[in-house]
Amino acid sequence: MENRSNNSSEVVIVTGSSGLIGTQIIKRLAKKFSVVGLDRDGNPHPPIEAECVCFDITSEESIKRAMERVNYAYGKKIASVIHLAAYYDFSGKPSSLYEEVTVKGTEKFVKVLQDFDVEQFIFSSTNLIYKPTEPGRKIHEDCPVAPNWDYPESKIDTEQIIRENRGDMKAVLLRLAGVYDEEGHSIPMSHQIQRIYEKQLTSHFYSGDTSHGNVFLHMEDLLDALEKTVEKRKTLPEEIAINIGEPETPSYQELQNKIGKLIHGEEWETYEIPKPIAKAGAWAMDLFGDPFIKPWMIDRADDHYELDISRAKELLNWEPKHSLLATLPDMIEKLKSVPLNWYQENNLEPPSELKKN
């Protein structure tokens, strides 16, 4: 293999490099850095802007081999590691992979990195680690955490692993909101749009407080935040958590009405269903027969998140340029102009009438 150690540009490593975020941040950073993408063997591969090094994050030996390649090609000095690799399953089912991949995998990775001169380690955490709040009450980085399923629990555990094992590396824990873009690429948003577009019965019912909602983050704003975090690595504290998300949280009802008007020209009637009814017998089968809607979603439908992003403004000089409500018209226009493409892009099963066209 070629030895690239004479390359004068600084090195950035991106794990989970073939994912949606990984591919985009590589393209962005490759203009200024030598970027190495670490991900599982097989397709898809990282963009051509990065060298692809395959590794299995659950295997310390595999991580060591991958980092030996990095050492041979680029040397031991690494400007930043952007750690995106993690396990995620939207079904909400418990899985040992949260522990094996996200927690233990990161622990192995961070320990191997101790043999390198790494300036900064960036971890992609989530806003879902926090205890839910109420509309009008923002969550700052020192607010209580209260994860209520395996995914955010794995993120909290991994944050602690990083704190305990980072050595001399600076650590930045970016607590990210739910990511979306003009194509959709947001599991909850794309399903909500699908239900209204198809006029499904489930689109008119919700098992929580419709004045509550979750916080979102446009892909371009996320890329800006990651880039700024790398660029400001020398001035950031040794260890810091930073909220990254939009400052305004749209309620479920606001989203329902906006989507309904954009697609069908009318606000969407939405009725709150008590949880016991939503989860009981015939109601659960008939009303929540949608394969996307899971029992755990009913339990957490009242959860509300609003982020205080003042730390991101102060330390990163970052704030979002987009908002979900302002982006929805573009998202819906892509759906209406070429529906089948939109369904495929969001990994959704199109209705039979679309398949015939």
pLDDT at 37: 96
d(CA 333, CA 330): 5
φ/ψ of residue 230, rounded to 5: -65, -45
pTM above 0.75, yes or no: yes
CB atoms within 10 A of CB 242: 23
pLDDT at 43: 64
Cis ω for the linkage preceding 188 (within 30 of 0): no
pLDDT at 14: 97
Report CA-CA distances (Å) from 4 to 1, 9, 73, 265: 9, 10, 4, 57
Sign of torsion over alpha carbons 26, 227, 103, 116:
positive
What stretches in the chain show pLDDT beneath 70?
1-8, 43-46, 91, 275-297, 356-357
d(CA 37, CA 121): 15
* Whether the Cβ atoms of residue 127 and residue 305 lie closer than 8 Å to each other: yes
Q: What are the helix (H) ranges across the chain?
A: 20-29, 60-74, 97, 104-112, 150-165, 187-197, 219-231, 252-264, 275-278, 281-287, 295-299, 310-316, 324-337, 339-345, 352-356
pLDDT at 282: 40
Top-tier CATH class for 11-178+215-244: alpha beta
pLDDT at 354: 80
Could you tell me which residues come within 8 angstroms of residue 291 by beta carbon, excluding any fewer than 6 positions away?
none
CA dihedral 315, 317, 323, 327 (to 10 degrees): -130
* Residue range 224-261, pLDDT digits in tens: 999 999 999 999 999 999 999 999 999 999 999 999 99
pLDDT at 357: 61
The structural domains of the chain, with segments of one domain joined by +, span 11-178+215-244, 187-213+249-305+323-356
* Residue range 56-97, pLDDT digits in tens: 999 999 999 999 999 999 999 999 999 999 999 876 778 999
* Whether the Cβ atoms of residue 296 and residue 219 lie closer than 8 Å to each other: no
